Chains A and B, each alone.
Chain A
Amino acid sequence: MSKVSRRKFLAGSLAGGAAVMLSPAKNAMAAGSFAGFPEGMGVLVDMTRCVGCRSCEAACNKEQKLPAPDQPFDDYSVFDQTFHHGTQKRRPTEKAYTVVNRYEPEGSDKPVYRKIQCNHCNEPACLTSCFVNAYTKTNEGAVVYDGSVCVGCRNCMIACPFHIPGYSYSKVIDPVVKKCIFCYDTRVKYGKPPACVEICPAQVLTFGKRKDLLKIARARIKKNPGKYQAEIYGEKTVGGTGWLYLSGEPFEQLGFDTTLQKEPIINNVKGFLGTVPMVLAIWPALFTGFHLLATKNKGHDDHHDSDAEEGEE
């Protein structure tokens, strides 16, 4: 029920209530209580295992045929790079769909490395925000996009709670959004793990069905409660994400936004979007009626006035 209604809401807001977008409805996301596709895949990132070798970055570069990096992938000085007066570490860009950052949490005797990429949300805010419907959440759990319809508005970059989509600023003509697609076209669609997962030497990354990964993550915490934080980041965040994180240190010390809502981002605008088709369908008729009622007598008055004017002449 809710699946259809949300799609209708979006379609309504785009095309004046006409149900023109029923064809992608099977890939569409339901609102509210939706917990992801049952067979949706994900990746469990266990940050206690990562040594910051950056092989995942190299594998991503090769698989996605991205431009050559500015520095070699075995150059660890990139971990010292900061932006915006030291307030921001590296972020994914049009040239790198995943990056690893180093953190030094208080009281930890060794650094912690955190790989970031698209988290492939169950209910993606980017998809919600895209008015040309470029984004699709596939049955396999990947959030992919059609660059050919992207108009480069960058709404998704603002909508994404994790600040993931990059932008092809280098292109003067027809710049588009660029982000991790879970290696959907070349791998995940065929049941193979993404390139970063396959290369990871320490098996920081575990590929599997999201529901199985949650079980594995809980088992790791239960087996070793002293080693892990009790929370699985991404289990509930913004309605749940396909990529899940386990950490030995508090998440907020590793650059994770722990203030994000549990509800999907769509829930913030669902009420408003729900009124759009109603407005489009009812208001024209309603106000035409008002107009007719309001102008009915006025028309007679005009007639009388003109008669009077004629009479006076």
Chain B
Amino acid sequence: MFVDSKWHMKSLLILLSGLFLTLPAYAMDAPESVTIDALAKYYEPVEFDHEMHVDVSEDCSSCHHHTTGTGTADQYCSKCHSEYKELVKVACQDCHPTQPFSAEVVNLQSQQDIFHADMNGLVGAYHQNCMGCHQEVGGPTGCEDCHARTEAGDEFYHAGKYAPTTAEHATAGH
């Protein structure tokens, strides 16, 4: 027991010191490109051109809410976060969970304050943010406009070489 906990403490300290050394540098530099592959399965990973999106968006907060230290235009969030410092957590997956409906996260729904109880998962956050903007500015909105489907994806959607051979119609109703 005691040996175990000491070992845990040590590894925790090493981990923490590692974080403190690396994170500030990370938070200050916006990446040129981000590979989005957290949940790649039916689709290939997406190479997100961060630099281009920095150029076209009005300010960081349109995607990063209040975490980049540029304030936020969202009236709902600005009640608390109008003059907010740059946070250590800036990357999407730092806050948006990859498994938003695990038992753990679902239990948080009732414990979180109402402003943060309804937080999107990572995939939901991407698609809502990206699609919302793309629809407005005429960016790509089709599934495969942004990510190529894998063979597992073709099988999943019964498409491509997994498409049904006999085209039977009008059987879906009564």
**Given the contacts A49-B128, A72-B157, A203 and B120 also touching, CB distance less than 8 Å:** yes
On whether the beta carbons of A215 and B143 are closer than 8 Å, the reply is no
Contact of B123 with A219 in the complex, beta carbons under 8 Å: no
Q: Is there an interface contact between B164 and A71, defined as CB atoms closer than 8 Å?
A: yes
Q: Are A90 and B157 in contact (CB under 8 A)?
A: no
Closest residue on chain A to residue B123 by CB atoms: A201
For A78, the chain B residues whose CB sits under 8 A away are 172
- Is A270 on the interface with B (CB-CB < 8 A)? no
Q: Which of A99, A192, A215 contacts B114 (CB 8 A)?
A: A215
B173–A203 touching, CB < 8 Å: no
CB contact between A69 and one of B118, B124, B158, B174 (< 8 Å): that residue: B158
A21 at the interface (CB under 8 A from B): no
List residues of chain B with CB within 8 A of the CB of A220.
118
Whether B157 and A73, one on each chain, are in contact in the complex, defined by CB atoms closer than 8 angstroms, is yes
Query: Are the C-beta atoms of A202 and B157 separated by less than 8 Å?
Result: no
Stretch at the interface among B11-19, B58-66, B85-93, B101-109: B101-109
**How distant is the Cα of A211 from the Cα of B109 in the complex, in angstroms?**
10
Do residues B158 and A58 form an inter-chain contact, with CB atoms below 8 A? yes
Are B172 and A90 in contact, CB atoms less than 8 angstroms apart?
yes
A274–B170 CA distance with the chains assembled, in angstroms: 44
In the bound assembly, the distance between CA atoms of A211 and B111 in angstroms comes to 12
| B residues in contact with A84, CB < 8 Å | 173-174
Query: Which of A88, A203, A211 has the largest count of B CB atoms less than 10 A from its CB?
Result: A203
Q: Pick the residue among B106, B158, B172 that contacts A208 (CB under 8 A).
A: B106
Q: Residue A51 at the B interface, CB < 8 A?
A: yes
Rounded to whole Å, the gap between the CB of A225 and the closest CB of chain B is 12
A81 nearest CB across to chain B (Å): 6
Contact of B110 with A by CB under 8 A: yes
Residue contact B173 to A81, C-beta cutoff 8 Å: yes
Q: Within 8 Å CB of B118, what residues of A?
A: 206, 216, 219-220
- A53-94: CB near B (< 8 Å → 1, else 0) gives 101001101100000111111110010010110001011010
Complex Cα distance, B163 from A75, in Å, reads: 10
At the interface, yes or no: A181 with Cβ under 8 Å from chain B?
no
The answer to whether B101 touches A207, judged by C-beta atoms less than 8 angstroms apart, is yes
Task: Give the residues in chain A near B171, CB-CB below 8 Å.
Answer: 70, 93, 95
B173 close to A219 (CB less than 8 A): no
Residue numbers in A under 8 Å from B166 (CB-CB): 70
CA distance A69 to B169 in the complex (A): 10
With a CB–CB cut-off of 8 A, which chain A residues contact B158? 58, 61, 68-69, 72-73
Q: B117 at the A/B interface (Cβ < 8 Å)?
A: yes
Question: Given A70-B167, A83-B172, A212-B117, 12 other A-B contacts at CB below 8 A?
Answer: A53-B143, A59-B156, A61-B158, A70-B168, A70-B172, A73-B157, A74-B157, A81-B173, A191-B106, A192-B101, A203-B121, A207-B101
- 6 of the cross-chain contacts (CB-CB < 8 Å) are A70-B166, A73-B156, A74-B159, A90-B173, A208-B101, A216-B117
Which A residues are closer than 8 A to B by beta carbons? Answer: 49, 51, 53, 55, 58-59, 61-62, 68-75, 78, 81, 83-84, 88, 90-91, 93, 95-96, 99, 110, 191-193, 197-198, 200-203, 206-209, 211-213, 215-216, 219-220, 223
